Amino acid sequence: MTAQSSEVFIYQGRTYSDAYTEPLSKYLYDNNLSKEFVGISSACWRGYTGTWEIINGKLYLTNFAGSMRIPKVKNSASTEPFEFTESDPLNSFGIKGVGLGYLFPNQKEVFAEWYSGEIKLGKGFVKSDYDNFETLYRKETFLKFKDGVLIESKIVRNNISFYDRIPRYLKLIYESDSDDDLTFLDTEDSLLNKKSSKPFKEKFYSLMRISLCTLIVLPIAIIQMVMISVEYIYDNILFEIAKYT
């Protein structure tokens, strides 16, 4: 399943583009507008994205982009729409893009008085869980709203393991699909090995690939791993300090 595009939030001058809360969904549902938008990409099935900003303790919608399905016309000189056919429904409709003015005419920013709930904003991206549409961060800010007004905020630091901090590209290089890539280095008879062994040629190419990738990425990997190590030590110091405060 494709991870869905998120809404954009601006808080205390910082832009967060990985927040998966959708404050507009309740407004669209209450006003029977939910079905007006159609997804044109597997990464955004809801058919719209919005930009939100917390201004003076209130939540505002400051930008909006949506895709609507509209009937096609027969030709440029005719205003009669195509008849909808069950056999070919997609060709009976076109897509029209709309902005903030479609939902809220003559408004540049809209106070989200309909929204009550919690919004999670992350800082220090670590990794994404695409199966659950969750993103893991070193530090997360939770904002609680009541009728569009910010009533509570708190910051949570996540205790992330060193392994989870390692960049995905390094894991892809050194984590193989099976455990027998380098078994040809063993002295045991392969016939006695319970694991299925790969042909020598395939094993050799696998070793060469790992060696070549190591030479190419080594300078970048060393710098990045040093930064991760320092970051890991720093976070653990903060956790220890937090225990006594």
pLDDT tens-place string over residues 134-152: 567 778 889 999 999 999 9
pLDDT in tens, 171-216: 776 665 444 444 444 444 444 444 555 576 776 777 777 677 667 7
> Taking the complete model, does pTM exceed 0.85, yes or no?
no
Task: List the domain boundaries for the chain.
Answer: 7-157, 162-243
pLDDT, residue 234, reads 84
User: Measured between alpha carbons, how far is 50 from 61 in angstroms, rounded to an integer?
Assistant: 7
Q: Which residues of the chain have pLDDT under 50?
A: 81-90, 130-132, 177-194
Strand bridging mode 48-55 / 93-99: unpaired
Overall residue count recorded for the chain in this entry? 245
